[in-house]
Structure 1
Amino acid sequence: MANKVFSFGEEFGFDAVEDNFNWSEKVWESMDKVNGGKYFHQEDLSDEDFNFSQHQQQQVSFSENGFLDDLQFHAASPPLHTCLEEIAKLGEFPTLIPEVEPRKRKRQRFSLASLELLKNYGNRFKQFNGDRVTEPSNDVACTKVEDPKLSTEEIVRLAGAKFIQSTSQAADGPSGLSHPFHLDFCGLSDEERRDVELAESLFASAEKVGSQQFERARKFLNQCDHLSSTTGNPVQRVVYYFSEALREKIDRETGRNTSKDSGKRPSINVEEELMSSSPPTLAAHEELPFSQVTQFAGIQAIIENTVEARKIHIIDLGIRNGVQWTILMQALATRCECPLELLKITAVGTTSKHLLVETGKRLASFAQSLNLPFSFNVVMVSDMLDLREDLFELDADETVAFYSAYILRSIITWPNQLESIMKVVRSINPCIMIVTEVEASHNSPAFVSRFVEALFFFSAFFDCLETFMKRDDQNRMITESKFFGEGIRNIVAAEGEERKIRHVKIDVWRAFFARYGMVETELSRSSLYQATILVKKFHCEKSFTLDMNGKCLITVWKGTPICSLSAWKFLSQQQKGQ
């Protein structure tokens, strides 16, 4: 079983690309150029010449408690805002929303949200609006541009724009959508037209939930039921799960219990599921590019920071099934200039110790097959507040590295636990800390803000699944239901401490780590090269792109950021390396 689980590494180990790291200075200089200030595409890259783009890092100003405000640890939830008011902040839609002064004043009657949602979505909408869809006007005949099919996120953005237009036209009449689907859908295929209508119904229902018009929201959700499906195209699938989440939100608000399958849905511990080596978990790892891209690039950074260490101690804050460490093992097994005396991995956990032990056994078996000296420890605490430095078996002559993949997000709800972890990390003072997190804003206390942000994010993810897995693939369906479906329900329907999924973007994490004296360090050229060749392996260079936000690597699916990879050191370590 161990060989089956970790077999992917045989095809794609570090030794396969080792010779490509020693490139000329001319090649390295080319990496510093900005490729038009946007995303770079791997089809333009060769092993000898490639460019990384780098966005201007946004300045983030925080007061003494500003970071806590941004994370929304204790912030009181403001009044719910209508979906119209939120989506109206998409950006500029001059062909869809006429600048009529009376109508503009009427929109100002809504409570203005403090968050500026979807400016990026609005900008990207204008891109495909010009290339793919020609909006009808009084003067120009409608023409269809023969371009590739719209992505799932583009369909959703178009539905949002149509929703704005429909509601704007009805603004002087009764509140709501008197006839939301009367607009022309010039340039769209029949399937795309139906998908836009379906997504527009979802927007309409969310708007009614946001204004607490629950019965009217249910009517729109009934329309969604007729067209959405767990086995259809990506738009139908993502609408199905968001519709379910909205129904649960209504039930929570009204005290009713009428959601489909309510009472029949088993309680799912997502983190425990991800710790197992179940077929859906392994399939998602092997068939989707995100995990492998960040794992190879992040572990390359660990290798470079432990190159002279004879004893390496990895502390993994969320090891899950441990497949990532087979990459490190293969690299260390071929290291000749500094033979390894011991690789020690310590897994930190609060539940499911038996799964952590099983992970350790698989890793030990894999290390034995490579003749690699290895030990595995488990540090179990009932609460992260109980985490202490003396729980780790630390040796004076070992080099320690921390690895945190999608773990810190899960404890944003409890800032004292997050602070406890960081104090322990600081006391141990590792040579490097690798952090991978979801690059999204799903932490707003306002329901509509979370709904809109989550809808666009998961639309991109469902679109990605369509690319790599068949629609009737059982692993895909389980992944969508167990992992994505549960995530959507928690983001949209839950409030308070029950809302455990609270993604924040890299700028927020930067401000947080700075409080503990941590500084972001450059990902090496070798690490970035690892990422690019993994993208090529999946043959998705046009859809899956890489972006640099400062020193952080962002993985992007068709323009939507998915996750971030960053490397951190404490100031003392940074000064030693200078």
Structure 2
Amino acid sequence: MAKTSFSFWEYNFCGSWDELSSTSKSSESVDGVNMGKIDKVYGTENWGDAGGIDYGFYQTDSMEEGLLFCEYHQQQKPESYLDYELFDDRRFEIISPTLQTSLEEIAKLDEISSGIQVISESKKKNQQDFSFASLELLKKYDHGRLNGGRIVQPSSDAPYTNLAGQELSTEEIIRIAGARFIQSNCQVVDIASMLNNPFGLSFSNLSDEEAKNVELVELLLASAEKVGQQQFERARRLLNYCDILSSSSGNPVQRVVYYFSEALRERIDLGTGRISSGFGKQSSVLNQEMTILNPATLACHERIPFFQVARFTGIQAIIDNVAGAKRIHVIDLQIRSGAQWAVLMQALVSRHDCLLELLKISAIGTTSKQLIEDTGKRLASFAESMSIPFSFEVVMVPDMLDLKKELFELDAEEAIAIYSEYSLMNLIFVPNRLESVMRVLRNINPRIMVVMEVEANNNSPSFVNRFIEVLFFHGAYFDCIDACMERDDPTRLITELMFHQGIRNIVAKEGEERRIRHVKIDVWRSFFARFGIIETELSTSSLYQASLVLKKFDSGSSCTLDTNEKSLLIGWKGTPINSLSAWKFT
């Protein structure tokens, strides 16, 4: 059967679940495909003036002041591993060239970390080495740095967008601030020419606001350096200036610095014993908030393109792999609102050559059973309005270790698909559970597994690595939020506060308390190889859906779509944000 591309975006994600039962059976042709059209489908989920302050107070001619920041650059080989217990070289038991390379990199971590002290003692001898290593940060985060084939790129592809009369992006501000910070601490005088920076490292080509933003980020970097060196009082003084200049209601740079400053303060308080940890409970509450249908999650997923692009692409990937099946069983690892399955239903109804006998959805949950059941009722009501035979099962387990194949009502005639939307990342901090879940999925042996994850590397055991990575990531994300939502939008503040919870955990916590962990697609690729799970191509139809969805957003011109091997990377002005991949079990 030929693969069909369904124009999912005809379904408006701005409606509400109450309107799902009111549908229109009118149809229209899109690229030659006769489509049913849904009128409404619900979409969800999961700074001030400087005042003449002199910023020079944190600069020093001592090489030691730049060590922590420079440490990051020494480790900037592609990190294709998960820096946690499960992914130690002692725990892997398969032969894989990619994995072997990953494990060798893991083994080098201790050598790199232990070398920092030696470097500090011989800083003059190695000053030039630091200078070049420090450039890796800026090179890595240069514009358009995503690897793979570019599908959609920003409409303005200049390295510094204000050369075309536009303001610098938040990420570009961070890069300039990083270059200035490296220069002031590592005494590198030729960074600008080596990076082809059109501004040099002066403020002569920047607007007043951009210059203040660069200085503000420099303050934040200096604060993070002092925190990493456990010079907490000095860090507090720097953060006091960050507080004066940043705001949760200002421009994107000011907002980012505000939330990162709060996270650094929490790390200081934890390090000095002023407060005790307790993020486990907060993490559960945050996950529940992402499940409940609230205005903040609605606004985030409705107005920011990353979610919709990944969802529609993922749904198309499922359809491509269950084509011709009359009985379809989708296992959702974390269903949240389930709005994507309303879209799937409409797409399946449009298959005129294959009548659907049953669509079954099994939703896995460990908490909030009532919320999951409510989602099932909404989906059942929608399915009834579409005359779709539908079954919804809740698979509740007190612990993911208790998940078993036998808990699912499986039928040999079913075409089974696994759907994971930001689900597996929640298990990285409990690797035994992640392993257990993967073994269960392996035994179920679905036709396809679609995985949507955050494309970021903030799982490093090194504080400075995590800080720099997450700073760039959220710089790009807050830049996107600013383009998609008004600054005084009340739901925007709530949305950013939800991101703040993740920033706090990544920056402030260590060990098992650090529960928010993201890794990039190459890490998942190595991990899945252990279970005989092979990455499969996303069809042309799927990639078409991705580009089609972007066109429906006013901010879509700033988004990028790239491929990394067989996976799709969705980014903002070149910064990867989400990955969407499809996997088959051998």
Q: TM-score range by the shorter chain?
A: 0.7 to 0.9
**2:427 maps to which residue?**
411
* Residues 245-394 of structure 1 aligned to structure 2 (within 5 Å): 245-257=263-275, 269-394=285-410
Matched, 1:237 2:255: yes
Identity in percent: 55
Q: Partners in 2 of 1:14 and 1:446 — Cα distance?
A: 56
Answer yes or no: is the 8 Å Cα contact 2:291–2:337 preserved in 1: yes
Q: Partners in 1 of 2:106 and 2:505 — Cα distance?
A: 16
Answer yes or no: is the 8 Å Cα contact 1:71–1:443 preserved in 2: no
Matched, 1:424 2:445: no
Q: Partners in 2 of 1:108 and 1:13 — Cα distance?
A: 67
Q: State the Cα distance separating 1:257 from its structure 2 match.
A: 4.0
Distance 1:132 1:408, change over 3 A: closer
Instruction: Tell me how large the CA RMSD over aligned residues is.
Output: 3.9
Distance 1:219 1:170, change over 3 A: farther
Q: Partners in 2 of 1:367 and 1:287 — Cα distance?
A: 26
| 1:160 corresponds to which of 161, 168, 178 | 178
User: 1:66-107 deviations in whole A, cap 9, x for unaligned?
Assistant: 68969989x98985999xx99xxxxxxxxxxxxxx9956247
Answer yes or no: is the 8 Å Cα contact 1:384–1:417 preserved in 2: yes
Answer yes or no: is the 8 Å Cα contact 1:202–1:239 preserved in 2: yes
**2:573 maps to which residue?**
558
| 1:120 corresponds to which of 129, 133, 140 | 140
Structure 1: gaps spanning 5 or more residues: 23-57, 87-100, 134-143, 172-182, 572-578
Distance 1:70 1:539, change over 3 A: farther
Q: Secondary structure at the match of 2:502?
A: helix
TM-score, with normalisation over the residues of structure 2? 0.76
Q: Partners in 2 of 1:80 and 1:312 — Cα distance?
A: 53
Q: Partners in 1 of 2:318 and 2:181 — Cα distance?
A: 48
Q: State the Cα distance separating 1:352 from its structure 2 match.
A: 1.1
Q: State the Cα distance separating 1:10 from its structure 2 match.
A: 10
User: 1:220-242 deviations in whole A, cap 9, x for unaligned?
Assistant: 10010001111100000010100
Amino acid at match of 1:369: S
Answer yes or no: is the 8 Å Cα contact 2:361–2:391 preserved in 1: yes
Answer yes or no: is the 8 Å Cα contact 1:13–1:327 preserved in 2: no
Q: Partners in 2 of 1:464 and 1:59 — Cα distance?
A: 26
Matched, 1:499 2:511: no
Distance 1:361 1:129, change over 3 A: closer
Q: State the Cα distance separating 1:346 from its structure 2 match.
A: 0.5
Q: State the Cα distance separating 1:16 from its structure 2 match.
A: 6.0
Q: Secondary structure at the match of 1:542?
A: helix
**1:457 maps to which residue?**
473
Q: Secondary structure at the match of 2:329?
A: strand
Amino acid at match of 1:514: A
Matched, 1:474 2:486: no
Q: Partners in 1 of 2:323 and 2:158 — Cα distance?
A: 50
Distance 1:385 1:102, change over 3 A: closer
**1:531 maps to which residue?**
546
Q: Partners in 2 of 1:392 and 1:131 — Cα distance?
A: 51
Structure 2: gaps spanning 5 or more residues: 1-12, 35-77, 82-86, 93-98, 146-155, 190-200
Q: Partners in 1 of 2:318 and 2:451 — Cα distance?
A: 11
RCO higher in structure (CA 8 A, sep ≥6): 2
Q: Secondary structure at the match of 2:518?
A: coil
**1:445 maps to which residue?**
461
Amino acid at match of 1:488: I
Distance 1:189 1:229, change over 3 A: same
Q: State the Cα distance separating 1:539 from its structure 2 match.
A: 3.1
Matched, 1:198 2:216: yes
Q: State the Cα distance separating 1:321 from its structure 2 match.
A: 1.0
User: 1:353-383 deviations in whole A, cap 9, x for unaligned?
Assistant: 1111111111112112212111111111111
Q: State the Cα distance separating 1:489 from its structure 2 match.
A: 0.4
Q: Partners in 2 of 1:157 and 1:411 — Cα distance?
A: 32
